[in-house]
Amino acid sequence: MDIVVGVTGATGTIYAIHLLKALKDTGTVKTHLIMSDWAKETLAIETDYRLKDVEDLADFVYDNKNLGAKTSSGSFVTEGMVVVPCSMKTLSAIANGYDDNLISRSAGVMLKEGRRLILSPRESPLSAIHLENMLKLSRQGVRMVPPMPAFYNHPQNLEDMINHHIMKLLDQLGLEYSQARRWQG
């Protein structure tokens, strides 16, 4: 199965890294990674990972400026796309069909083809414009999965909190994840 992973310049690049690792661990998913310029900046600001470390986790890597890449066309069939973290700028681009880079174009392809699109929008506080963009996309069937920590599973560290979010993303793709604790009642 082929999954497109878009990474944008909202805080939380580490979520994308954990997602790529989890998808690689499935052994069945092929990942198509696109990182925006600001995702690369936040990677450097927030983590000790080098760009190459992240790109090595993916099966295919595309330049965000390359609108001729495979994922730009609906004729390249994938199971869906995750944008994590998703900046308010990219959220707006997707919500308004402003497909001027490969991340927003690939997301637009998911919408027009009726494929799975999962966004992890990240901003705080959220303005009415942000909320309207999310609602507009949600009404189109886009899954909004913001990185929101849960405490009912008694996270012991940051890793636990990150993994909980990865579980939420994988749930939307119908993939199991053993690194997080589910609520058992």
What is the nearest approach in angstroms of ligand FMN to the Cβ of residue 3?
19
- Identify the residue among 1, 2, 11, 153 touching ligand FMN (CB under 6 A): 11
- Identify the residue among 3, 4, 5, 10 touching ligand FMN (CB under 6 A): 10
Q: In what order do the strands lie in the sheet with 30-35?
A: 60-63, 30-35, 2-7, 80-86, 116-121, 143-144
> Is 1 exposed, middle or buried (CB count within 10 Å of its CB: 0-12, 13-18, 19+)?
middle
What is the nearest approach in angstroms of ligand FMN to the Cβ of residue 81?
14
11/153 with CB nearer ligand FMN: 11
59 Cβ contact partners less than 8 Å away, ≥ 6 residues apart = 30, 31, 32
In whole angstroms, what is the distance from residue 34 CA to residue 39 CA? 10
29/85 with CB nearer ligand FMN: 85
C-alpha distances (whole Å) from 7 to each of 34, 63, 107, 185 are: 6, 12, 12, 34
- Dihedral over Cα of 126, 158, 118, 70: its sign: positive
x/- mask, ligand FMN, residues 40-69, rule CB under 6 A, reads: -xx--x------------------------
What is the nearest approach in angstroms of ligand FMN to the Cβ of residue 55?
16
- Residues numbered 100 to 139 that lie near ligand FMN (CB under 6 A) are 122-123
What is the nearest approach in angstroms of ligand FMN to the Cβ of residue 63?
13
Residue type, 137: L
89/136 with CB nearer ligand FMN: 89
Query: What one-character DSSP code corresponds to residue 168?
Result: H
What is the nearest approach in angstroms of ligand FMN to the Cβ of residue 46?
7
